[in-house]
Chains A and B, each alone.
Chain A
Amino acid sequence: MKIRALLAAALAAISFSVAFPASAQQPIKIGMSMPQTGALAGGGQAALVALRMWVEDINAKGGLLGRKVEFIAYDDQTNPANVPGIYTKLLEVDKVDLLIAPYGTVPTAAIMPMVKQRGLLLMGNFSFQVNRTVQHDMWFNNAPWNNAASWFDGYIATGKKLGATTIAFLAADQEFAQNLANGARELAKQAGLKTVYDQNYPPTTTDFSSLIRAIRQANADLVFVASYPNDSVAIIRSVNEIGVGSNVKLFGGGMVGLQFTPNMVNLGSLLNGVINYNTYVPGMNYPGIEDYFARYAKKAAEAKVDPLGYYITPYNYAIGQMLEQAINATKSLDHKRLADYLRKNEMKTIVGPIRYGPDGEWANPRVVQAQFRGVADKDTEQWKKPGRQVVISPDSVKTGEIVAPFEKARK
């Protein structure tokens, strides 16, 4: 009991000294947890470089509302169990003014109820449909997708053009993959495809031989996979080890992690033939993006992370840009007013204009489905030129035709 009383007194003293309203010269604190280790580390570390770059840029311009911006990021290890504690610490101990969500659906799902109950603005970071059940009205996701159709329509359309009638689903049992797979299953049914195989696997699975064998046995035309980086890599390796059957026309679709440069370089030619979603491939034109990548590459080299940073980093930089525009326009840090602004306005970012729908997702999705072709082993430079990822869908940014069946495209 004595110990508890002492602790109470000590913490009370600390909290009183910190709780007084910030003077005008106090920095604006933006806080988040970011997966720097664990499954999403490949993207998380790169995203952090982009966010820190934005903080530097904004402070060089004089900060926001005349105050410097301070950025606090902890490592949640891609473990949703760590996230509520970290965000409680950010709010109660670090006393941050603004929150950014962790990268990824799985870590973010853990704090959605908390931010909704406390009425806090949360800037989403590449999660998929994580606001679906909670329906928080102060959530704004930076990712260029909204629902499953934005990912899956292109995949299905391509499949149907090739005459496919059956489909197999392989999805990790976690928030992201389940959200995606559930949406995809609905759409497949509507498109008249017959499901011949449907399996969820525990997220800690490392050996996929039996699952791949079963898929081969099922003899599907299309194989749609929703997976996280570790599983995606293991699945690709397993497919190359034991094969998935000569009947399969399309393989892939929703595999996270095949967009992280280290994975792309390590897997190399094992990727050929796989069709997968992406947010940016070289050749896509957004004003200012080339310049951004040049600056990013320098910082990434210093931090020894993903040197290209195509997939997620510009979208993290965009979070900063959106916050900047909202804060400067409303001249406040009040979460409600910022949320109002973000909901009503179109914002200009280095990944193009962003406008939000009522659920906090993009009104106009911009996901592409691209097929890996002609990839060589252990070559980072090859990814900088267009051509290794041939965009199959949507038609507006298409750069080539699909090569099927899958086994043929792998040669």
Chain B
Amino acid sequence: MFSLDLLFEALLFGVLLGCFYAAVSIGLSVSFGLLDVPHVAHPAIMVLGSYGTWIIAGKLGWDPLLAGAVLMIPFFLLGVAIYRFYYEVFEKRGTDAGVRGLAFFFGLAFIIEVGLILAFGVDQRSVEAAYIGKSFQVGEYRIPMRMVVAFAVALILTFSLSFYLSKTFTGRAIKAVAQDEPALRLMGANPVRIKQWAFGIATGVSALAGAMLIIISPVEPAIDRLYIGRTFCVVVLAGLGSMTGTLAAGLILGIVESIVLMLFGASWAPAVAFSLLLIVLGIRPQGLFGR
């Protein structure tokens, strides 16, 4: 069933979805793209944020975005702690750290996932809000409000982070440490503290991403596995370290996924992000705007 109407709706949906993908990947863009941390546990932490949002929104009746925003602070601290631990145990010690660092984060992802199952079960969880369940009528098309809300928040998040990294002092220090750590050290700044701060921000942002995730669709603990593909696809496609690249890459992924969904059906959708990732890794591993 192929018609111009359906195609347009698919594109529209793809743009909204794509921005959301960019937002959930932006934390990884910082932690992996800039800091070179093999953070395969990034989606798992985001799902942790989703559950946190579900608990707060459920128990206190708050709006999920507000809950997500509040969670950013404890998640920031969590990020600092994780990076500190990673640095002390792995980064300091050198070469073999590659295998072990990867194994560590993979193990961490599993522990988070299973921990969520033990605490909350495998059932799907969702939140309620005024904008979930309604849609905007724009001519012939009906656009779900929750997608537009996620889209808006995603845009704000991406631009804020981009602004922070390029215009503020600490932001530029983060970019500097990614580019040339010894030089930074020579200038008297402490690279470990800067990286720790950056990882904290990346993790804090993941909390808000988690809130958006549970607004868009119900979550269950194993959903992080699918998002490993999506987030890494976006980050690699963008090119490590590029924030605006993340937005562009997210949009590309969102649109491609939406069109594949329309043309071939829902059973092929999970493979899109992973296939795109493999293609990028094979053809142009430095991505679109790589450093």
Q: Do A and B bind each other?
A: yes
A71-97 CB contact bits vs B (8 Å, 1 = yes)?
A: 000000111000000000000000000
Q: Which of the four size classes fits the interface of chain B?
A: 20 to 34
Contacts of A79 in B (CB 8 A): 122
Is B144 touching A209 in the complex (CB atoms < 8 A)?
Answer: yes
A237 to B9, CA, bound (A): 19
Is A201 touching B144 in the complex (CB atoms < 8 A)?
Answer: no
Contact of B134 among A211, A234, A241 (CB under 8 A): A241
Q: In whole Å, how far is A38's beta carbon from the nearest beta carbon of chain B?
A: 5
Q: In whole Å, how far is A37's beta carbon from the nearest beta carbon of chain B?
A: 4
Contacts of A213 in B (CB 8 A): 6, 9
Is B121 touching A199 in the complex (CB atoms < 8 A)?
Answer: no
The answer to the question of B187 belonging to the interface, with a C-beta cut-off of 8 Å to chain A, is: no
Task: From A197, A207, A237, name the one whose CB has the most chain B CB atoms within 10 angstroms.
Answer: A207
Contacts of B142 in A (CB 8 A): 241-243
Is A241 touching B135 in the complex (CB atoms < 8 A)?
Answer: yes
The answer to the question of B5 belonging to the interface, with a C-beta cut-off of 8 Å to chain A, is: yes
Q: In whole Å, how far is A355's beta carbon from the nearest beta carbon of chain B?
A: 37
Q: Which of A8-48 contact B (CB under 8 A)?
A: 37-38, 41
The answer to the question of B149 belonging to the interface, with a C-beta cut-off of 8 Å to chain A, is: no
A230 to B270, CA, bound (A): 18
A79 to B135, CA, bound (A): 34
Contacts of B6 in A (CB 8 A): 213-214, 217
Is B121 touching A242 in the complex (CB atoms < 8 A)?
Answer: no
B131-159 CB contact bits vs A (8 Å, 1 = yes)?
A: 00111000000101000000000000000
Task: From B10, B217, B266, name the one whose CB has the most chain A CB atoms within 10 angstroms.
Answer: B266
Which residue of chain B has the shortest Cβ distance to A230 in the bound complex? Answer: B124
Contacts of A209 in B (CB 8 A): 13, 144
Is B144 touching A241 in the complex (CB atoms < 8 A)?
Answer: yes
B61-77 CB contact bits vs A (8 Å, 1 = yes)?
A: 00000000000000000
The answer to the question of A115 belonging to the interface, with a C-beta cut-off of 8 Å to chain B, is: no
A187-221 CB contact bits vs B (8 Å, 1 = yes)?
A: 00000000001011110011101110110011000
Q: Which of the four size classes fits the interface of chain A?
A: 20 to 34
The answer to the question of A70 belonging to the interface, with a C-beta cut-off of 8 Å to chain B, is: no
A142-168 CB contact bits vs B (8 Å, 1 = yes)?
A: 000000000000000000000000000
The answer to the question of B95 belonging to the interface, with a C-beta cut-off of 8 Å to chain A, is: no
The answer to the question of B206 belonging to the interface, with a C-beta cut-off of 8 Å to chain A, is: no
Is A41 touching B144 in the complex (CB atoms < 8 A)?
Answer: no
| A210-B258, A214-B1, A241-B144 as given contacts; A173 in contact with B267, CB under 8 Å | yes
Q: In whole Å, how far is B120's beta carbon from the nearest beta carbon of chain A?
A: 9
Contacts of A214 in B (CB 8 A): 1, 6, 262
Contact of A38 among B123, B133, B265 (CB under 8 A): B123
A258 to B5, CA, bound (A): 32
Is A206 touching B133 in the complex (CB atoms < 8 A)?
Answer: no
B6-38 CB contact bits vs A (8 Å, 1 = yes)?
A: 100110010000000000000000000000000
Is A218 touching B265 in the complex (CB atoms < 8 A)?
Answer: no
Which residue of chain A has the shortest Cβ distance to B270 in the bound complex? Answer: A202
Q: In whole Å, how far is A98's beta carbon from the nearest beta carbon of chain B?
A: 28
A269 to B10, CA, bound (A): 29
Contacts of A246 in B (CB 8 A): none
Contacts of B13 in A (CB 8 A): 209-210
A230 to B219, CA, bound (A): 11
Is A77 touching B122 in the complex (CB atoms < 8 A)?
Answer: yes
Is A199 touching B265 in the complex (CB atoms < 8 A)?
Answer: yes
Contact of A240 among B122, B133, B258, B267 (CB under 8 A): B133
The answer to the question of B218 belonging to the interface, with a C-beta cut-off of 8 Å to chain A, is: yes
A234 to B144, CA, bound (A): 13
A197 to B3, CA, bound (A): 14
Which residue of chain B has the shortest Cβ distance to A206 in the bound complex? Answer: B217
The answer to the question of B97 belonging to the interface, with a C-beta cut-off of 8 Å to chain A, is: no
Q: Which of B217-256 contact A (CB under 8 A)?
A: 217-218
Is A206 touching B135 in the complex (CB atoms < 8 A)?
Answer: no
Closest 10 CB pairs of A and B: A242-B142, A206-B217, A37-B121, A201-B266, A202-B267, A241-B135, A37-B122, A210-B261, A38-B122, A241-B144
What 17 new A-B contacts, CB under 8 Å, besides A41-B121, A213-B9, A241-B142? A37-B123, A38-B123, A200-B265, A205-B266, A206-B217, A206-B218, A209-B13, A209-B144, A210-B261, A210-B266, A211-B266, A214-B6, A218-B1, A241-B133, A241-B135, A242-B135, A243-B142
28 A-B pairs with CB atoms under 8 Å apart are A38-B123, A41-B123, A78-B122, A173-B267, A199-B265, A199-B266, A200-B265, A200-B267, A201-B265, A201-B267, A202-B270, A205-B266, A207-B216, A207-B217, A209-B13, A210-B9, A210-B10, A210-B258, A210-B261, A217-B1, A218-B1, A230-B218, A234-B218, A240-B133, A241-B134, A241-B144, A242-B135, A242-B144
